[in-house]
Amino acid sequence: MSDDAMDVIVVGAGPAGAAAALVLARAGLQVVLIERGSAAGVKNMTGGRLYTHALKTLCPENHQEAPLERRVTRELISMMSGSSTVTMEMASPEFADNSYTVLRTRLDAWLAAQAEAAGAMLATGVKVDELLIKDGKVVGVRCGEDEMPAHAVIVAEGANCLLPRQASLKVGELDPHHVATGVKATFELPANVIEERFHVAPGEGAAQLFVGEVTQGLAGGGFLYTNRDTISLGIVLTVAGMLEKKVEPAALMAAFEAHPAVAPLIAGGRMVEYSAHLVPEGGVAMMPEVVGDGILVAGDAAGFVLNLGYAVRGMDFAMASGMHAAETLIAAKAKNDFGKAELKNYLTRLKQSFVLRDLEFYKHAPHFIGSTPRMFGAYPKVATDMLRRLFTVDGTTPPKHAVTLAREALKGRASLWQVAKDGLRGGRAL
């Protein structure tokens, strides 16, 4: 290795890469954080809610200074059918600082600035084209004509896990059942209008998830997050469902915006952003090999995302895996050993942390969600029909018992046996 080699090159300034660079720089290692976008965050998107526990671990002194939008104090889950909606709500100031809505251009820029302030070199507008490999070991990267040597590389390039294949790490082909497409629009509205519409105090916000009509019964759902002076609205649906039913995400998105439960919430809002992005949702089953000679893989590139329907988590996994990758390399640097055997400590760290613990714990969730279409089609229809019947007074005598009401609504959609089976499977998986 030449004398001008960096200790570590980190590819990608999303939450995984920036967290890794920050921890490495704090420990005094020479680190370059390379981002292909013109600034950190400009190429990135998320639904919009960060569970803050990992950020607090990463920045114990100054996490309050991070550009968080609103503290989520209202959680809503809505089942849609036709133009009807049934919503379950949990509102509580006791959520404290469990989660905040975020916008990636601001959050990623702040995280990258923290890494720079700690001593990392941030190179934006630079795309890593290739890994440099010598005798089977990763020894740097090539960006265009430039070769940059390093003792180790952390790949945090997001959902498209391309670079690790060059180092012969086992990376499965993207399975359309395990990958979803997300489409999101951001609408600008004055802060006081958002607070009135969502019944929240200044600084507080709402998170609303939708299932059913929003994806026309396909596996996936919709989301709405209130930011300071914008609303993030979007849909996520599996690539398999999209291909099978030949639906256009943009058309679904337009129908979602016009839905009677959604249109009044964004009324008068000016669309300031529209973007699309992949989400690796297969859980631990789609995890590629994340350790090699001189290379570690973190964040979405490693498939570290957990979608449970009621909670979508990727950014906390990204930050934590970036931190664990960095700590592994700090220990490796102390021994001057960046070989695969030493770097396997990364896996041990991940297993001891919530990253692999949670992914392993919920390992049946992606299969359950993907193989239970009734959750996205029949059940939202049953819920809206049942409650419409319950609340309708038209001179006919409604059935007295909930079971009779449910039976009526289930007719032709699902048997009580199927409901019980789905309930049991769901209980085990989620």
- DSSP type of residue 94: G
What is the DSSP secondary-structure string of 8-38? EEEE--SHHHHHHHHHHHHTT--EEEEESSS
Bridge partners, 85 (sequence order): 80
Q: Is 225 exposed, middle or buried (0-12, 13-18, 19+ CB in 10 A)?
A: buried
Per-residue interface string for the shown chain with ligand FAD, residues 218-257, x marking contact by CB under 6 A: ----------------x-x---------------------
Is residue 128 a contact point for ligand FAD (CB under 6 A)?
yes
Smallest distance from ligand FAD to CB 418, Å: 30
CA–CA dist 66, 113 (Å, integer): 11
CA–CA dist 35, 129 (Å, integer): 12
Q: Give the list of residues 6+ apart from residue 311 with CB closer than 8 angstroms, or none.
A: 51
The residue range among 76-84, 109-117, 152-160, 325-333 that interacts with ligand FAD, by the rule CB under 6 A, is 152-160
Residue closer to ligand FAD (CB basis): 129 or 229: 129
Residue closer to ligand FAD (CB basis): 86 or 102: 102
The residue range among 7-15, 281-289, 397-405, 416-424 that interacts with ligand FAD, by the rule CB under 6 A, is 7-15
By CB under 6 A, how many residues form the interface with ligand FAD?
A: 39
Is residue 70 a contact point for ligand FAD (CB under 6 A)?
no
CA–CA dist 311, 334 (Å, integer): 39
Smallest distance from ligand FAD to CB 397, Å: 45
Among 8, 9, 12, 359, binds ligand FAD (CB under 6 A): 12
CA–CA dist 74, 91 (Å, integer): 4
The residue range among 8-16, 71-79, 167-175, 402-410 that interacts with ligand FAD, by the rule CB under 6 A, is 8-16
Smallest distance from ligand FAD to CB 213, Å: 19
Q: Is 425 exposed, middle or buried (0-12, 13-18, 19+ CB in 10 A)?
A: middle
Is residue 315 a contact point for ligand FAD (CB under 6 A)?
yes
Q: Is 201 exposed, middle or buried (0-12, 13-18, 19+ CB in 10 A)?
A: exposed
Among 299, 366, 377, 380, binds ligand FAD (CB under 6 A): 299
Bridge partners, 9 (sequence order): 32, 153
Is residue 305 a contact point for ligand FAD (CB under 6 A)?
yes
Helix (H) or strand (E) holding 386: helix 378-391
Among 9, 29, 32, 47, binds ligand FAD (CB under 6 A): 47
3-state secondary structure of 321: helix
Smallest distance from ligand FAD to CB 114, Å: 14
Q: In angstroms, what CA-CA distances link 387 with 14, 56, 75, 110, 235?
A: 43, 42, 21, 46, 25
Contact 14, 300 (CB under 8 A): yes
Among 6, 7, 14, 132, binds ligand FAD (CB under 6 A): 14
- DSSP-based helix, strand, coil % in the chain, nearest 5: 40, 25, 35
Among 44, 81, 114, 186, binds ligand FAD (CB under 6 A): 44
Residues 182-201 that bind ligand FAD (CB under 6 A): 182, 184
The residue range among 40-48, 73-81, 85-93, 414-422 that interacts with ligand FAD, by the rule CB under 6 A, is 40-48
The residue range among 80-88, 155-163, 328-336, 382-390 that interacts with ligand FAD, by the rule CB under 6 A, is 155-163
Q: Which residues form the interface with ligand FAD (CB under 6 A)?
A: 11-17, 34-37, 43-50, 127-128, 156-158, 182, 184, 234, 236, 277, 279, 299-300, 305, 312-316, 318
